[in-house]
Amino acid sequence: MSGSKRWATTALGLVLTVALGACRSVGTPEQGAPAPAQEDRSATLPSAPTDRPAGLAPGGPLGHIPVKIEGIDAILHSPAAKDPVFQERVGFWVHFWTERQHGHFGRYLQRMGRYAALVDHELEARALPISLRYLPIVESGYLPGAVSRAGATGMWQIMAPTAGDLGLSVGAIVDDRRDPVASTFAALEYLEELHARFDSWFLALAAYNAGPGRVGRILEERGGDPSLSGDEQFLHIRSYLPAETREFVPRFFAAAALASNPTAFGFDSPNPAPIAFDEVTVPDATSLDVVAQAAGVPEDDILALNPHFLRGFTPAGETRVVRVPDGRGDRFAREYALIPPEDRLSFLEHVVASGETFTHIARRYGVALSDLTAMNSQIDPRRLQIGMTVVVPVASSGSGVALTAGASGGADAQGGDGGEHVHVVASGESLWTIARRYGVRAESIAQANDKRPDDLIRPGDRLRIP
């Protein structure tokens, strides 16, 4: 239970903010700025979509806006990008996002502002092309919870089998593909593997979309010209690729052009605060509302930092890292240690009746059968007996409710003045344990008694229960 400071709070200043005009940029040069005389560092967009979207800042006709970066980016400055058909498709996507999908792309940019520093940091550490920061725009619009019709999930849209190969957990309780940090590490590792296999970023991006096996087979059947570079091989085989994959690399180029210089295309510059957090550990199943209470922050803050915990609690029997807002790690470690293990999970306890099965119980409480099974891994569903107690997870409902049969400690609530309920604090009790007994939030009890959630309570204290 330690509050270890993540890189996000100490190294953000070291990250290159490409899209915001730092030392690298991809997009439109200032009007009238001369192109470098010594070398051609641009991949010019086509002239096909000549109508300018409303609000587009001055910068010349769309067909003359180059993708430009200081220094050579292995992807954006590939000679293959000058192919006329490829340029026409880049132009199509620029036009699509600046006109038909202008509002959507603006939201993508705002989300990118939250996560780009995290991505940039890992790109720099791996010495990968900085332009890969724009890939999550194409994949998910930088949305950690995105799920495609094919089941690809997360900011980087990783399929479950690939996730397993990369060491990510995918299950009913945890899906690490939704974790912006873990999925970024995994996605970039995968891209490195694809680039090493195909010796081409164009082919690596195509394989990221269609799968390396499919791209490899098409190369074997339709490639074969040893004089072509890897990127040129992509152009050679693109007509044999699935339609979505043919468009994938041009879409990436269009996203880079727009996101690197958003104001030139009529978009607002991203301005959300970059993600920053402390990492703490919990030794066993713990509800995220309990984490929030121990850290002294709203539960929504914890949910936003931990979207990979699908049911609002960490898995039973596992030590797990949980993220809390920057600067809250030490308080969490201190307060969490005071919460009894049996009070760290929000749940219902259901006593099995005659004829009931796990399926009946899951339906009764509106939870997934897989969640119920995961929370009761010690019980054989085929051997349920009358009177057995089954734990039903209800975390992430926002209520902080834990209704347990025979809650121990403390005097029962009594009628007080005006019909209010009063609880007499017993030895060993805390606001968290009392809140769980009565199915309310600890913050609500504190407020009703003119206290703060982290104030001490003593045996014999009388607390009003809202």
> b/e per residue, 213-237, with b = 16+ CB within 10 A?
eebeebbeeebeeeebebbbbbbbb
Sequence-separated (6 or more) residues with CB below 8 Å from residue 376? 358, 390, 391
Asked if 104 and 141 count as a contact pair (C-beta separation under 8 A), the reply is yes
Please, are residues 338 and 321 in contact by the beta-carbon 8 Å criterion? no
Structure tokens of 227? 């004089």
Helix (H) or strand (E) holding 171: none
CA angle 81, 86, 89 (to 5 degrees): 130
CB 58 within 8 A of CB 41: no
Q: Of the listed 70, 99, 139, 220, which one is catalytic?
A: 139
At 152 the three-state DSSP class reads: coil
d(CA 373, CA 370) in angstroms, rounded, equals: 5
Q: Cα torsion at 233, 239, 243, 244 (round to 10°)?
A: 10
- The tokens of 233 are what? 């091989």
Nearest-angstrom CA–CA distance, 383 and 343: 27
Active site includes 192? no
Active site residues: 139
